[in-house]
């Protein structure tokens, strides 16, 4: 009888495009999301947790370049008796589920409905450096009102949020534009060919990368890219391209001048004039709330989701400089964006339902906070109660219970207590601030030894022998004073 082969062991590797998050990263994200939720709650938004799984039909076709229902998303087909079950998918954003939730529960929800949501989303796209298939988003949306006050409120809330999490004023700008103004520009250009209009929109979307001269070249005859390859242009004349250039470069130091420039760019277009009027209203509302151009600006160069948004669009850009992987200085860039999307709920109801919202890229914002030194320092671990006698585990558990009941993070060493040095190595790996020691002699005397591990590490690095004597990192205290002295040490370490 042939010997049965053992099944190969599974490889312990993270799936391609995914990553693992450990203690400090998880804690930093949770803390940041808690602060963001506080701002949203203050603005009257309610939390919503929707399912991570939606039907593909409900998610819709809003990912770019999607030719089949499950491309771009992680999808599978449910098995029915007839083999024709529904296609299901992990959500690729938090907005499409909101549209489904609102359409399903609209009779029970207030109108307008303000909600925020935070959680992971999944995209079945090619991963790359810093680009993962699972990532966190943090959204806030208002559904059921066409008032520009809702858009102004989202922009103000985004500004407040950035400052609350640690991005100082002067290090960011919330930039606002309107898709209707762009539609007015296209109308003024008189482009009747749909493919040519799409080519113009794709070119406009490259403005932040290639600048005015690059866009002008791409709209007309074409240009050489950085690699030396020639990129064909749209084929417009210089006169046809001029309204686009005027639109993209219309931002002035004075907002009134910006609006004048936009009026020139849209000409006699009714939809363009409507978009400008909406921007003027948003600007007026923000000014009334005390949000000046140092925080929120009207900027026609903001172009987001051209096939998705129907009105105002906004983007939060961090303006401080960082060094890229090649050592070059560059601005940090966008960490949040959103806008008005009045057609999304209509897919379910058949009736237009106005909506506007913003999405924060959680990982991007965390990276920005690390760059600014707001997070990313050493995170203190728990106080470690060492075990000198395994038969007295109850005594050690009593100590750790007292510390925990006093609000102090603490744990008993649960490994093999035979080697005391290994216990201290464990405490060091856990980044423990304090170790508690109680052997048989200490038990008889009613005392414990407290070892200040942070001070001990500092002294070991730089102190002379005399300083060791003057500032002992380990000392004896009465057993009844344990909690008070540990709290005192922790307070000193924080300061």
- 10 Å CB burial of residue 190 (0-12, 13-18, 19+) is exposed
pLDDT at 68: 46
Rounded Cα gap, residues 122 and 94, in angstroms: 10
Q: Which residues of the chain have pLDDT under 50?
A: 62-69, 468
Domain ranges of the chain: 383-494
Rounded Cα gap, residues 411 and 232, in angstroms: 65
Rounded Cα gap, residues 117 and 33, in angstroms: 10
| Coil/strand/helix, residue 144 | coil
Q: How far is CA 66 from CA 60, 61, 345, in A?
A: 10, 7, 20
CATH classification number, 383-494, choose in 1.10.3080.10, 3.40.50.300, 3.40.50.800, 3.40.950.10: 3.40.50.800
pLDDT at 16: 93
Q: Tens digits of per-residue pLDDT, 397-419? A: 999 999 999 999 999 999 999 89
Let me know: does 279 contact 180? Beta carbons within 8 Å.
no
Name the phi and psi angles at 364, rounded to 5: -65, -45
Task: Please measure the distance between the N-terminal and C-terminal CA atoms of the chain and give it in whole angstroms.
Answer: 72
Total residue length of the chain = 495
pLDDT at 87: 85
Q: Which residue has the tokens 């008889």?
A: 444
Name the phi and psi angles at 312, rounded to 5: -60, 140
């Amino acid at each position: 009888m042939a010997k049965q082969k053992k099944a190969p062991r599974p490889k312990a590797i993270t799936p391609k495009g995914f990553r693992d998050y450990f203690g400090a990263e998880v804690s930093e994200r949770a803390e940041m999301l808690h602060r963001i939720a506080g701002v949203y709650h203050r603005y009257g938004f309610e939390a919503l947790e929707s399912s991570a799984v939606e039907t593909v039909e409900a998610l819709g076709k809003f990912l770019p370049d999607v030719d089949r229902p499950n491309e771009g998303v992680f999808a599978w087909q449910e098995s029915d008796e007839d083999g024709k079950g529904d296609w299901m998918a992990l959500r690729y954003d938090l907005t499409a589920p909101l549209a489904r939730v609102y359409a399903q529960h609209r009779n029970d929800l207030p109108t307008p409905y303000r909600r925020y949501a935070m959680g992971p989303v999944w995209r079945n796209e090619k991963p790359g450096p810093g680009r993962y298939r699972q990532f966190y988003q943090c959204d806030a949306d208002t559904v059921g009102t066409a008032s520009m006050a809702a858009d102004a409120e989202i922009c103000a809330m985004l500004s407040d949020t950035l400052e609350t999490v640690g991005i100082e004023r002067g290090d960011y700008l919330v930039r606002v534009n309107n898709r209707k103004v762009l539609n007015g520009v296209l109308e003024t250009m008189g482009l009747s060919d749909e493919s040519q209009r799409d080519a113009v929109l794709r070119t406009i979307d490259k403005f932040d990368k290639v600048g005015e001269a690059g866009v002008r070249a791409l709209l007309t005859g074409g240009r050489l890219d950085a690699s030396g390859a020639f990129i064909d242009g749209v084929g417009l004349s210089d006169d046809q391209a001029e309204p686009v250039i005027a639109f993209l470069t219309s931002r002035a130091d004075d907002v009134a001048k910006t609006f004048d420039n936009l009026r020139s760019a849209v000409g006699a277009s009714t939809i363009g004039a409507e978009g400008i009027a909406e921007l003027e209203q948003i600007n007026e509302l923000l000014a009334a709330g005390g949000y000046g151009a140092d925080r929120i600006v009207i900027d026609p160069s903001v172009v987001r989701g051209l096939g998705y948004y129907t009105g105002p669009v906004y983007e939060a850009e961090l303006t401080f400089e960082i060094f890229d992987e090649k050592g070059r200085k560059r601005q940090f860039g966008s960490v949040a964006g959103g806008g008005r999307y009045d057609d999304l709920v209509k897919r379910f109801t058949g009736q237009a339902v106005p909506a506007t919202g913003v999405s924060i890229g959680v990982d991007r914002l965390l990276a920005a906070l690390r760059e600014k030194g707001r997070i990313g320092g050493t995170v203190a671990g728990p106080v470690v109660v060492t075990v000198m006698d395994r038969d007295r585990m109850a005594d050690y558990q009593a100590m750790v219970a007292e510390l925990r009941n006093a609000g102090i993070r603490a744990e008993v060493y649960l490994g093999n207590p035979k080697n005391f040095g290994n216990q201290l190595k464990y405490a060091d790996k856990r980044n423990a601030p304090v170790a508690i020691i109680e052997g048989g002699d200490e038990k008889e005397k009613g005392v414990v030894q407290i070892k200040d591990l942070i001070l001990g590490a500092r002294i070991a690095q730089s102190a002379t022998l005399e300083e060791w004597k003057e500032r002992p990192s380990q000392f004896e205290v009465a057993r009844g004073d344990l909690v008070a002295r540990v709290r005192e040490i922790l307070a000193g370490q924080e300061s």
